Amino acid sequence: MQGPRSVSAEHDYLVEQIEELKRRLLERNREYESLRRRERRLHSDVFERDERIQQMSLTMSDIEAALQDRTAELRELEDIRESMSNELDSVRRGERTREVVGRVFADSLSLVRGHDEREMKREAYANSPDVERKLSTPDLDDMANLADGGRVSLEVEETVIEPGMEVDTDRPAAPGGSGDPVIFEDED
């Protein structure tokens, strides 16, 4: 590069160069300031994002802890439900057993009472005198009354039969002997 030939031209040239360098320096300073502002914004954005990430990680750890607590509570509730279900089943089985035992006891009691009543009726019948019963038969007027939907009362006549004499001695002579009859089995 060749410089100017005179001092004033050289001075003017140097002044122009200085002005150009000043202008470039100002542009570079502006670019530098804009880059610094952008860097600060990026730093603040990164800081805010880091804070948000930290808050989100804290929130997630809180959610995980709450979820573990709820899971433990749910397991405890399931254990309680299972124990209550088992207890309810045992109570139902006990209630069914009580019902069955009660029914069996009532049935056996009614059987015993029925047996006692039958025994009393049998004894009363055995101790009662022998009776001959005669029923009156309906006549034609009674039949017509029945056909019309009426009722007929039949009379029952009971007469006590006199007991026969007891024979404690040998049986009287009978054709074929005085022993009990015997059934012979045919041998083939």
Give per-residue pLDDT as tens, 97-145: 999 999 999 999 899 999 899 999 999 888 887 778 787 888 888 888 8
E strands within the chain? Answer: 131-135, 156-160
Q: Is the pLDDT higher at 156 or at 51?
A: 51
Handedness of CA 175, 178, 183, 188 (dihedral sign): negative
DSSP state of 143: H
130: helix, strand or coil: coil
Q: Is the pLDDT higher at 8 or at 34?
A: 34
